Chains A and B, each alone.
Chain A
């Protein structure tokens, strides 16, 4: 799987406005809806929130990976959002989350989503890469971190 086949400027924002978990997830979902990658917004939102209730997707170092499985997509779709001030995402290390990488995958398979996240995590493993993401002003600058 290639990250560049999944991500494009239309699904990247550097200015998330919400200050709550549900708000951030809704905003990210709107990106996918505007890019016409998702149709049934409400069902997808509930799938994503359902997943958050089972186990928070806020991991370490300000990175969160909200994701869900839904019949509303046929292939893996993903989007990226940045919020410099951070949001309380109930993350593992207790730090506020700033970099959000959200994926939606079809119901029957988790592999593509795991593969995609594994590839993304290789890129943002370093402090330097995460700093570049936080300082990005445009979608293009964000994608540049992933070599796109």
Chain B
């Protein structure tokens, strides 16, 4: 036990150092997403390359482990926590109203991607694999399923890095990717059921397969609805504990619980984590939770990507290189066409459709889960497992730069995003004699709102803007030069006006006290006099 833990500490240390440095190198020097640097770092130091080299009495730092995952269960566990943190914070950063608004479009995109990818993947296997003659052959079924799942992790990371999570394309990709994973896992249960029968003989038990599929879909739907309804009440209670740190820690605890339950229901853990994040995203403490979760994520998420890189066995890939490359290209085409083409019909232009197609390219954890189950059940051999890994690798390496490039330029959505009804929105303006005075008052006002339980976060943009929020009351405070502007719903206008007035009265008191202050220059002179005092 002590040896395993010592090895784990060494492995984590090496992973953190190499992923962080390589991530920095990729983002600063090569202008590529950090995640790519982390994946490559994992491949290089992993059990199939440098990690296998024995280091004196210690032995190999990453001794290859037999089974579907070539790293130790302890390290894989830490990587799993990383993936949960990643999807939890992606959920937190998603704008829930936009997510819900685009979920219909996402379903079309996700389903299109799954159907086209499955058919292309299974079809090309039937055409090119000499031993496979029918689409119902377990090998064709597995390779088709391998094509379907999108790695929401890689896409989420890039969307997060480029601040596109809440764009129409961003939410469509994330919602479609979540749906894809759900459908892929349902498809997996069906494929496993059929394969078991075909390999062992007998008839297909559709009832049992249907039950598994229903459980997965049911769990997903119930958690989504319950999470969205419960989270605001839950945070209200948790705020009573008067520690924002505690609120963040408890909500991550809930994310872990839901991740575990999600796995129990036959879904991937990351789906539970994403749903939890999405549920908390609409609460007034979401920015505070995100900030804290991201800080922890910086330590664990690179471990997840490094471990993904470590799964690549270059020798297994080498044997089926030709078929692997062709299969990868087909898998790319499946997603680009399957997701991009339907996107054109649900309001996106060509640019948006390409972004969505590119965003759905990365393959990851679910691909490996599917391939691993196929390998373990004997439905596919080590060569086809190699093809799956290769597809994942090529897609994961090609997608990030493609996605970053695709997201440059204007909107990919044909319609303008709907603004709130102008009649329901009120703007209050306050003019001050100077920028400095306006900024001083802005800070004073922010403090008064904070002391009343409001949360204030900076909004990125050209003008200085802050979101001021407490439960369902939200308004935006902006400073244009020497002017302060408050925009919010009409129903909250009276409250905002009264709060502003109270703060101004307080300010008046402060100004009066300043006037009564002894002359500041005398105070300053007194300070300097004492500097050179004798003795």
Verify if A110 is at the interface (C-beta below 8 Å from B): yes
How many angstroms between the C-alpha atoms of A121 and B448 in the bound complex?
Answer: 21
**With A54-B509, A55-B505, A55-B508 given, is the CB distance from A121 to B499 under 8 Å?**
no
The one of A54, A108, A109, A114 that contacts B498, using a Cβ cutoff of 8 Å: A114
8 pairs, A vs B, C-beta closer than 8 Å:
A51-B505, A54-B508, A109-B451, A110-B448, A115-B495, A117-B498, A121-B494, A121-B498
Verify if A111 is at the interface (C-beta below 8 Å from B): yes
How many angstroms between the C-alpha atoms of A122 and B497 in the bound complex?
Answer: 12
| B495 and chain A: residue at smallest CB distance | A118
| A69 and chain B: residue at smallest CB distance | B502
**A117 contacts B508, C-beta separation under 8 Å:** no
Chain A interface residues (CB < 8 Å from chain B): 51, 54-55, 108-111, 114-115, 117-118, 121-122
**B452 contacts A118, C-beta separation under 8 Å:** no
Q: Which residues of A contact B13 (CB under 8 A)?
A: none
Verify if B453 is at the interface (C-beta below 8 Å from A): yes
Smallest distance from the beta carbon of B79 to chain A beta carbons, Å? 45
B472-508 contacts to A, CB under 8 A, are: 491-492, 494-495, 498-499, 501-502, 504-505, 508
Q: Which residues of B contact A117 (CB under 8 A)?
A: 494, 498
**B494 contacts A110, C-beta separation under 8 Å:** no
Smallest distance from the beta carbon of B496 to chain A beta carbons, Å? 8
For chain B, what secondary structure do more than half of its interface residues adopt (helix, strand, loop), or is it mixed?
A: helix
**A114 contacts B505, C-beta separation under 8 Å:** no
11 other contacts beyond A51-B505, A111-B453, with CB at 8 A cut-off?
A54-B509, A55-B501, A55-B508, A110-B448, A111-B451, A114-B452, A114-B499, A117-B494, A118-B492, A118-B498, A122-B494
**Which residue among B452, B491, B509 has the maximum number of chain A CB atoms within 10 Å of its CB?**
B452
**A54 contacts B505, C-beta separation under 8 Å:** yes
Smallest distance from the beta carbon of A126 to chain B beta carbons, Å? 13
| B504 and chain A: residue at smallest CB distance | A55
| A51 and chain B: residue at smallest CB distance | B505
Smallest distance from the beta carbon of B456 to chain A beta carbons, Å? 15
| A125 and chain B: residue at smallest CB distance | B494
Q: Which residues of B contact A109 (CB under 8 A)?
A: 451-452
**With A109-B451, A121-B494, A122-B494 given, is the CB distance from A114 to B508 under 8 Å?**
no
Smallest distance from the beta carbon of B494 to chain A beta carbons, Å? 4
Q: Which residues of A contact B498 (CB under 8 A)?
A: 114, 117-118, 121
**B509 contacts A114, C-beta separation under 8 Å:** no
How many angstroms between the C-alpha atoms of A51 and B505 in the bound complex?
Answer: 8
**A110 contacts B509, C-beta separation under 8 Å:** no
The one of B492, B502, B508 that contacts A110, using a Cβ cutoff of 8 Å: B502
How many angstroms between the C-alpha atoms of A114 and B504 in the bound complex?
Answer: 14
**With A54-B508, A54-B509, A121-B494 given, is the CB distance from A114 to B502 under 8 Å?**
yes
How many angstroms between the C-alpha atoms of A94 and B453 in the bound complex?
Answer: 35
How many angstroms between the C-alpha atoms of A121 and B504 in the bound complex?
Answer: 20
Give 5 closest A-B pairs by Cβ, nearest first: A111-B452, A118-B495, A118-B494, A121-B494, A114-B498
**A110 contacts B495, C-beta separation under 8 Å:** no
**A114 contacts B495, C-beta separation under 8 Å:** yes
Q: Which residues of A contact B452 (CB under 8 A)?
A: 109-111, 114
How many angstroms between the C-alpha atoms of A61 and B140 in the bound complex?
Answer: 79
How many angstroms between the C-alpha atoms of A38 and B502 in the bound complex?
Answer: 22
Q: Which residues of A contact B448 (CB under 8 A)?
A: 110
